[in-house]
Amino acid sequence: MLNFKKLCNYFVNIENTSSRIEIQSQLCSLFKEVDENTIDKLIYVLDGKVDPGYINSTFNFGEKTFIHILCDIFEKNDTEIRNLVTQFGDLGLVYEFLKKGQDGEGVLFSEVYNSLKKITQISGKSSMENKSNIVKEMLLKFTPLEGKFYIRMILGKLRLGFSNKTILDALSCVISKDRSSKKNIESAYAKCSDLGKVAQIAIFHFKDLENLGIVPGIPIFSKLVERSSSFDDALNRYGHVFAQPKLDGMRCQIHITPSKEIYLFSRNLENITDMFPDLVDNLKKMQLNGGVILDSEIVGFNPSNNKLLTFQETIKRKRKYEVSFFQQDIPIKVFVFDVMFYNSKSLIDVPLKERLDILYKMFSSCSNDKTNISVIENYLFDNPEVLYEYFESMIEKGLEGLVLKSPDSIYTPGVRNFDWMKLKRGYLKGVVDTIDVVILGYYAGGGFRAKFGVGAILVGVYNKEKDRFESICKVGSGFKNEDLPILKLKMDEFMVLDKPYNYYVNESLSPDVWVKPEIVITVRSDEITKSPIHTAGASSDKLGFALRFPRIISYRNDKSAFDTTNVSEIERLYKIEHGMI
């Protein structure tokens, strides 16, 4: 049985190291001490949750309530606690300071987890009082160290600084003492998206991992798309390609369970079912058979002229509040482009041409009139000139371009390869595409922006091979003044005192405030250049990449930091831009 104090000591060791290898080693040792009934719960807690990420369970417990509890426990007034919060900057540290020298009862992790789980399940009248009673009861039992981390868990500020990638490496080390098992574990995780369950099977029943399949109701990682530089590029690879319009929308995975329950998931595996009641109602009208998983794109449209809206407009529908208002204000169309599960059978290993046949037959046999749900336009091409004409017709319609797909491609969850390629007008002209980056920190700035507290932001991209974020530019253009206070509040929510261990940033670029890799934005620049300062793709014998004259285009609430444009894509874009491919 795992003792909570021992777990907290692991947290301290992880906090005090900047070495990814050492963090992996600490996690490996921790996982070896945990039994089969505990490992899944531990994984969820390490991710700041009590359930798999696709389950919307939240603590809904604010700092103000914690202040009231600490006042009660330590017989302090509100001002005294708030002054300590200002001094320490962390309610967990405030508890540790006030409880210093006092012993705890010795609590098991299972008791801690059960209390956290109960907090997420309480709702309705007197819910805040009931949650507070649970928290207070636990805090009275804890040692100073235990209480510090318990408070951080509930506030979403555990701040351990490692990603699920590091957890996957650690799990592999538990099984094979190296990373040789990681591919099997990653593949299972991509199909199941429940890392706790994957860890449980991987450590205790490794041979069963390959039997872990996809199930309606549990999201799988989306198949990703590479960039193509020409029509010949795709046709030379495959001879024939399916071409589908490239829409500027929001990725949506549609699940219908055998019992006809409907779930919607974003590309970030977030459950967005309650955000799109109109889509749920229309799916019910279609009377599709149960046991289905579809991949689709949601795009807002203007009902007066039927024109599709931009991503920035569509993403306004992704919200927890005022759902009904925005449902009326921004109606949506849904374009289905793939089927991964049908008739109680996984189709991810079935060639695309067969999956599309199934998809068309499925829609032809159901009622989808007036539902605004349809199969996306899809044509097979083998002639580059004809393909180009089709491409031009999409541009004339105001679309971004095309997605070109190999007819024999299988659906590989979470994998980006040249089975699917996107082609935009900019690629043909050597113009840099928009790039998704993650905010690493911000600079206070001066001049007219001094009043906002943000002059510019430091952004980076993900290096998948090295599992780290590398800087690519500072962005100071494209902001609306009215957005800056909101952006600063958002960045301050993820503020950290020190540079995260998995940030590779030149010391000369150190921002005034470091930020956890949580906020993704889209930027456009004039070109990609080589840089002696920025670290994206840099090595001891190679300069890094940087963006020249970058400006912010939009915020990508539907993407995680690991979905940003990665270093290998930046290198490919650089070669496309400079006519090297």
355, 452: one domain: no
389, 534: one domain: no
Percent of the chain at pLDDT exceeding 70 = 97
Query: Is 536 in contact with 567 (CB distance < 8 Å)?
Result: yes
What CATH number does the domain containing 481 carry? 2.40.50.140
How, if at all, do strands 250-256 and 292-302 pair?
A: antiparallel
pLDDT at 369 over 80: no
Query: Is 144 in contact with 102 (CB distance < 8 Å)?
Result: yes
**417 token code pair:** 């390869």
Question: What pLDDT is recorded for position 252?
Answer: 97
pLDDT at 177 over 80: no
455, 405: one domain: no
Question: What pLDDT is recorded for position 18?
Answer: 78
Question: What pLDDT is recorded for position 429?
Answer: 55
pLDDT at 445 over 80: no
462-504 pLDDT, tens digit each: 998 888 999 999 998 888 777 888 889 999 988 888 888 889 9
Q: Whole-angstrom Cα distance, residue 122 to residue 61?
A: 11
**559 token code pair:** 């993407």
pLDDT at 143 over 80: yes
Residue 484 resides in a domain:
yes
Residue 185 resides in a domain:
no
Q: How confident is the model at residue 447 (pLDDT cuts 50, 70, 90)?
A: low
- The pTM score is 0.84
pLDDT at 128 over 80: yes
Question: What pLDDT is recorded for position 427?
Answer: 59
Q: Which residues contact 31 (CB under 8 A, 6 or more apart)?
A: 39, 42, 170, 171, 174, 199, 203
Q: Which residues contact 297 (CB under 8 A, 6 or more apart)?
A: 247, 249, 250, 251, 252, 334, 335, 337, 376
Name which of 12, 4, 22 is nearest 115 in CA terms.
4
Question: What pLDDT is recorded for position 432?
Answer: 58
Residue 31 resides in a domain:
yes
Going from the C-alpha of 320 to that of each of 56, 121, 277, 317, 325, the distances in angstroms are: 11, 18, 12, 9, 12
458, 354: one domain: no
417, 439: one domain: no
Catalytic residue among 246, 333, 424, 516: 246
> Is 117 assigned a catalytic role?
no
Residue 544 Cα to chain centre, angstroms: 25
91, 34: one domain: yes
Residue 273 resides in a domain:
yes
Q: How confident is the model at residue 330 (pLDDT cuts 50, 70, 90)?
A: very high
The SS3 of residue 330 is coil
Residue 200 resides in a domain:
no
What CATH number does the domain containing 12 carry? 1.10.3260.10
295, 368: one domain: yes
How, if at all, do strands 332-342 and 373-375 pair?
A: parallel
Question: What pLDDT is recorded for position 580?
Answer: 77
Query: Is 522 in contact with 434 (CB distance < 8 Å)?
Result: yes
The SS3 of residue 112 is helix
Q: Whole-angstrom Cα distance, residue 382 to residue 357?
A: 19
372, 298: one domain: yes
pLDDT at 202 over 70: yes
Q: Whole-angstrom Cα distance, residue 111 to residue 49?
A: 15
375-415 pLDDT, tens digit each: 999 999 998 889 989 998 998 888 889 999 999 999 999 99
Write the DSSP string, 379-424.
EEE--HHHHHHHHHHHHHTT--EEEEE-TT----TT-EEEEEEEEE
Name which of 246, 223, 185 is nearest 422 in CA terms.
246
In terms of residue numbers, what domain contains 557? Answer: 435-577
- Which H helix or E strand runs over 436? strand 435-443
Identify the bridge partners of residue 256 per DSSP, sorted by sequence position: 262, 292
Question: What pLDDT is recorded for position 31?
Answer: 96
**162 token code pair:** 């490692």
pLDDT at 116 over 70: yes
548, 565: one domain: yes
What CATH number does the domain containing 260 carry? 3.30.470.30
Identify the bridge partners of residue 254 per DSSP, sorted by sequence position: 264, 294
Residue 38 resides in a domain:
yes
- What are phi and psi for residue 380, nearest 5 degrees? -100, 130
Q: Which of 428, 443, 475 is the last residue of a domain?
A: 428
- Burial label, 545 (beta-carbon count in 10 A; 0-12, 13-18, 19+): buried
469, 568: one domain: yes
pLDDT at 109 over 60: yes
The length of the chain in residues reads 581
Q: Which of 428, 458, 477 is the last residue of a domain?
A: 428
| b/e map 117-140, b = 16+ CB within 10 Å | eebbebeeeeeeeebbebbeebbe
Q: Which of 396, 413, 428 is the last residue of a domain?
A: 428
Question: What pLDDT is recorded for position 312?
Answer: 84
Computed over its alpha carbons, how large is the radius of gyration of the chain?
A: 25
Residue 446 resides in a domain:
yes
Question: What pLDDT is recorded for position 288?
Answer: 84
268-318 pLDDT, tens digit each: 899 999 999 999 999 998 888 889 999 999 999 998 898 999 888 898 888
Q: Whole-angstrom Cα distance, residue 505 to residue 518?
A: 17
Q: Whole-angstrom Cα distance, residue 425 to residue 227?
A: 12
405, 450: one domain: no
Name which of 438, 431, 433 is nearest 422 in CA terms.
433
Q: What is the mean pLDDT of the chain?
A: 90
Q: Whole-angstrom Cα distance, residue 453 to residue 445?
A: 7
Residue 215 resides in a domain:
no
| Total domains, the chain | 3
Question: What pLDDT is recorded for position 107?
Answer: 94
532-564 pLDDT, tens digit each: 999 999 988 899 999 988 989 888 888 889 888
SS3 track for 48-108: CCCCCCCCCCCCCCCHHHHHHHHHHHHCCCHHHHHHHHHHHCCHHHHHHHHCCCCCCCCCE
Q: How confident is the model at residue 108 (pLDDT cuts 50, 70, 90)?
A: very high
246, 146: one domain: no
**445 token code pair:** 């700035």
Other C-beta atoms lying within 10 Å of the C-beta of residue 20: 19
